[in-house]
Amino acid sequence: MTIDASALLAHAPRPAAELTRRDVARLLLSVPAAEAVAVMPGLRRELLAASNPFSARFWESAESVLRRIADGSATVGEVHGWLEATGTEPTAIIGLHVWDDEPARTPLAHEMHDLLVTHLEECLTAGDIDPDRLLADDPEATRKYRELQERWMTSPLPDGRVPMDELLDEADEDFFAEWDAAEEAALEDLQNILAEVGERPRPDEELHAACRGLRTALTRGGWPADLLRTGGGVDPNDLDPDDEQLWLRLAAGVASPVDEPPEDIPVDQLSAAALDHEEWLEAVAALARGGPGTPASAEDLAQFVADGDDDDDIDVLAGWFITVVEQWQLLGAVDDRERLTPLGWWGIPEALLQAWSHDAA
C-alpha cells in the first residue's frame, strides 16, 4: 500500500466537501486498482467527515468495477459506463460526435468537454440527474441523461457558438487534411510507378470508338451509365466534344465521384466508395505494370490489392471492385473477358492521376 485517503484527496480538483462522484471515480481510476480498493474505506470516511457522503450503491459499484479491473476481467466499455453513471461524465457518443480519449482531445474538444461537465454538475445539483438510477441502468434515467447532453450540445453558448457544430466542423477539417495528405502521397507513388513503366501510347481509334458508345449510353441512361454520369459530373445533353477530355473525366469519376449517385441505385452497388487511396494505387499499379491483356476482374483486382491475404479480405475487396469493373467495361478499358485493353492501359492510370491531381489542387 503506497497511498492513503489523505494522499489521494490531495490530488483532487477541489475540496472534499465539494467533490462529485465523477471526481472520486477519476481519483480511484488514477491509481492501481488494487490500491484503489484498499484505500476506499478511508476515502469514504473522509468524505463522510466532510459532509459529502455518497450512496451505498456508488461505493458498491466502485468496489465491483475496481476488483474487476484488478483481476483483468473489466472491459473498457464497462469502466466508461460506470464513469458515465456518476451523472457528470459525458456519454462517449452524443449524436454524431464521439469524444476522443482525454490525451487525444484537441484544445477545442477539451474546452467543450469541460463546459459540458460543468453543465451536468449544475443539472445534478438541481436534481435533474439521479446517478443511482443511472447506476441501476434505468432506461428512463439514461434517456433523460442523454437528452440533457444532446440539448446542451446543440444549443448556442453565451458567445454564440454551438458545441456540436464546432466539434463536427473541426472533425471535418481534420478528416479532409488527412485525406489530402494520403492523396498527395498516393499521387506521388503513382507518378513514380508510371515513370518506371514507361510510355503507354494513347490508342486513338479505340478512344474515339469508346466515346461514340459512351455518348449513346449516357444519353440513353441505365446501369451503369447513370453511375458513370454522376461520378464524372457530366450532363448527357452537353458532353465535352473532346474525346480525351470526356473519357478521362468519366474514368476519373469512377475513383473520385464528382456528384452524388442517383437515388435509385442500391447501396451495395456503390461499394467502390469504400476503396481507399492505397487500394486504388495497388490495383492500378498492377494493371499499369501488366499492360494490355492483364486480368482485370473484380477478383483479380482484389488479389492485386490483398497480395495473398486472407480469403475473407479478398472476398470483401472483390465486392468493392465489382462496380468499378462494370464502369470500366462501359468505358472500354476492360473487355468482355475482363482483361485490360490498350485503352485501359493508357487511360485508367491517366484518369487516376487526373482525379488525384484535381482533388489535391
pLDDT of 220-246, one tens digit each?
999 999 999 999 999 999 999 999 999
Q: What is the pLDDT of residue 273?
A: 67
Q: Catalogue the long-range contacts made by 78-81 (C-beta closer than 8 Å, 24 or more residues apart).
A: 79/29
Indicate if 352 and 228 belong to the same structural domain. Answer: yes
Indicate if 207 and 299 belong to the same structural domain. Answer: yes
Structural domain for 353, as ranges:
199-360
pLDDT of 36-71, one tens digit each?
999 999 999 999 999 999 999 999 999 999 999 999
Indicate if 168 and 204 belong to the same structural domain. Answer: no
Indicate if 268 and 284 belong to the same structural domain. Answer: yes
Q: For cell 501488366, what's the residue?
A: 290
Residue 186 included in any domain: no
Indicate if 15 and 59 belong to the same structural domain. Answer: yes
Is there a contact between 116 and 152 (Cβ–Cβ < 8 Å)? yes
Q: Catalogue the long-range contacts made by 267-270 (C-beta closer than 8 Å, 24 or more residues apart).
A: 268/319, 269/223, 269/227, 269/322, 269/323, 270/227, 270/323
Lowest mean pLDDT among 212-221, 263-272, 314-323, 328-337: 263-272
Residue 179 included in any domain: no
Residue 190 included in any domain: no
Indicate if 168 and 208 belong to the same structural domain. Answer: no
Residue 310 banded pLDDT, cuts 50, 70, 90? low
Going from the C-alpha of 297 to that of each of 182, 310, 311, 324, 349, the distances in angstroms are 26, 18, 16, 9, 17
Is there a contact between 344 and 334 (Cβ–Cβ < 8 Å)? yes
Phi first, then psi, for residue 53 (nearest 5°) are: -80, 150
How many other CB atoms sit within 10 Å of the CB of residue 115? 13
Residue 160 included in any domain: yes
Indicate if 4 and 77 belong to the same structural domain. Answer: yes
Give the SS3 label for residue 334: strand
User: Which domain-ending residue is among 67, 86, 105?
Assistant: 86
Q: What is the rounded CA–CA span in Å between residue 157 and residue 163?
A: 8
Total domains in the fold of the chain: 3
Residue 143 included in any domain: yes
Indicate if 331 and 214 belong to the same structural domain. Answer: yes
Indicate if 244 and 343 belong to the same structural domain. Answer: yes
Of 76, 52, 50, nearest to 65 by C-alpha is 76
Indicate if 48 and 125 belong to the same structural domain. Answer: no
Q: What is the rounded CA–CA span in Å between residue 125 and residue 112?
A: 20
pLDDT at residue 21 above 60? Answer: yes
Residue 340 banded pLDDT, cuts 50, 70, 90? very high
User: Which domain-ending residue is among 86, 109, 136?
Assistant: 86
Is there a contact between 23 and 89 (Cβ–Cβ < 8 Å)? no
pLDDT of 79-125, one tens digit each?
999 999 999 999 999 988 999 999 999 999 999 999 999 999 999 99
Q: Which residues pair with 340 in a beta bridge?
A: 334
Indicate if 236 and 269 belong to the same structural domain. Answer: yes
Residue 61 included in any domain: yes
User: Which domain-ending residue is among 21, 55, 86?
Assistant: 86
How many other CB atoms sit within 10 Å of the CB of residue 205? 9
Indicate if 154 and 29 belong to the same structural domain. Answer: no
Interior angle at CA 61, CA 153 and CA 127, nearest 5: 45
